[in-house]
Structure 1
Amino acid sequence: MPEKTWDDYAESWDSNNAVIDYANHAFESLAPVLAAIGDGTARVLDFGCGTGLLTEKLSPRVGRIVALDPSEKMISVLEGKQLGNIETIQSMLSPDLISIDSRLHNRFDLIVASSALAFVPDYPHTVHLLASLLKDNGYLVQWDWLLEDGGTGPGFTEAQLHTAFEQAQLTDIQVTRPFSMQMEGTRLPVVMAVGRNRR
């Protein structure tokens, strides 16, 4: 039996309580960064946006959001929400996409990646690409499951996050555990990394 793809999850994604809770907690933990970027005119990239649960929460607080996801059906669900200040891109992020898609030519005040970067084929390279899309003083914010040293599965250790952000020449790096989620009887911590582009 073939493995499920993200397209297979799209239809029921927004009715999954754990997914909703994760997006709510991520948005709450983003408050200091939203305060730092200011006045409601910010350009935001939601990397791995899925059906846009975080995008929906950001939409009233910022100027414009580019929502990027490789799943056609996830993007379709987001487009069905008809949020006025959202543009969608159904694609993987790559240097070629950055060079040809004009929506990625204007840099971003904020890039968010909520439970998305654990699924890319080359995590440090993707962080480097995302950092290249930030304006001066722009922020990259990532949430993923925390892996303890020696752990396996989709997630990261705090050291892996810090190293990738450092290698992408981000500064003011903060790695925290802002919330945890009850999953199948186990409390799983979520790790959050914040970095700033001061080049």
Structure 2
Amino acid sequence: MANEWDEYAPNWEKDQTTGVFAQSVFEQLTQLVDLKGTRVLDFGCGTGLLSQKVSPLAKEIIAMDISEAMIEELDKKELENVEPVVDYLSRGLAAQHPAFRHQFDVVVASSVCGFVPNLQDTVSLIYTLLEEDGSFIHWDWCVESDDEEFGLTIERSESVLLAAGFSSVEVSIPFSIDTPKGTFSVLMGVGKKSSLPNL
């Protein structure tokens, strides 16, 4: 799988859709979360388009992707407060890698979750990596059926976030993007981790 993404890396940002997606995501993110001084995990960061936008606001960003070629493109941006990690997100990695010694205030995933094979396990792990009152926010192409190869349904996003333990879950369709293949809706799933015990 990583090799497939490696092939896309050199031309990733030449696709206009990619830039529009990242900008739209950033605008939604800044409306939801005050990023000033935060510690952020950009899960499935790709070439770092979102990390680049968040970098001036956040204290620190761990930018993670399975594709070494994507991370090489991120490295070219020379973002001082961004630490790249080439790996799969797993409990072993989270327990052993120095970058995961502290909890995150925000975890973001931009056009990633629809491609993750073990999504429930991954989101449940993300929940454990968040500070109390932290947020996990993901954006994915919105699809009508779970049978479709790329993207997520609103129902699947909601059920995965709830099953992971998030006390407040909201899934919406904040924007659509015009692509050469047509106009596609993007869903946004927001899971908030509460410091208050569930009553």
Aligned-pair CA distance for 1:4: 6.8
Aligned-pair CA distance for 1:149: 3.7
Question: C-alpha distance in 1, partners of 2:70/2:155?
Answer: 31
Question: C-alpha distance in 2, partners of 1:193/1:50?
Answer: 19
What are the residue-to-residue correspondences of 1:3-152 with 2, within 5 Å? 5-35=4-34, 40-149=36-145, 152=148
Question: C-alpha distance in 1, partners of 2:37/2:47?
Answer: 23
Aligned-pair CA distance for 1:185: 4.4
Aligned-pair CA distance for 1:150: 5.8
1:179 is matched with 175
Q: Percent identity?
A: 36
Question: C-alpha distance in 1, partners of 2:146/2:101?
Answer: 39
TM-score (structure 2 length as normaliser)? 0.93
1:158 is matched with 154
Aligned-pair CA distance for 1:41: 1.0
Aligned-pair CA distance for 1:183: 2.4
What code does the residue aligned with 1:76 have?
A: E
TM-score (structure 1 length as normaliser)? 0.93
1:98-141 deviations in Å (ceiling 9; x for gaps): 11102112000000000011111111111101111000000000
- Higher mean alpha-carbon deviation, 150-159 vs 24-33, is at 150-159
- Higher mean alpha-carbon deviation, 166-175 vs 65-74, is at 166-175
Q: Secondary structure at the match of 2:14?
A: coil
Change in 2 beyond 3 A, CA 1:185/1:74: closer
1:14-65 deviations in Å (ceiling 9; x for gaps): 2210101100111111122223x5xx21000000000000000000111100
**Equivalenced residues, count:** 194
Work out whether residues 146 and 152 of structure 2, in 8 Å CA contact, stay in contact via their aligned partners in 1: no
1:146-199 deviations in Å (ceiling 9; x for gaps): 111465121111111111000111122111101111223421100000111114
Question: C-alpha distance in 2, partners of 1:92/1:33?
Answer: 27
Change in 2 beyond 3 A, CA 1:150/1:129: closer
Structure 2: tracts of 5 or more residues without a match: none
What code does the residue aligned with 2:111 have?
A: S
Question: C-alpha distance in 2, partners of 1:152/1:184?
Answer: 19
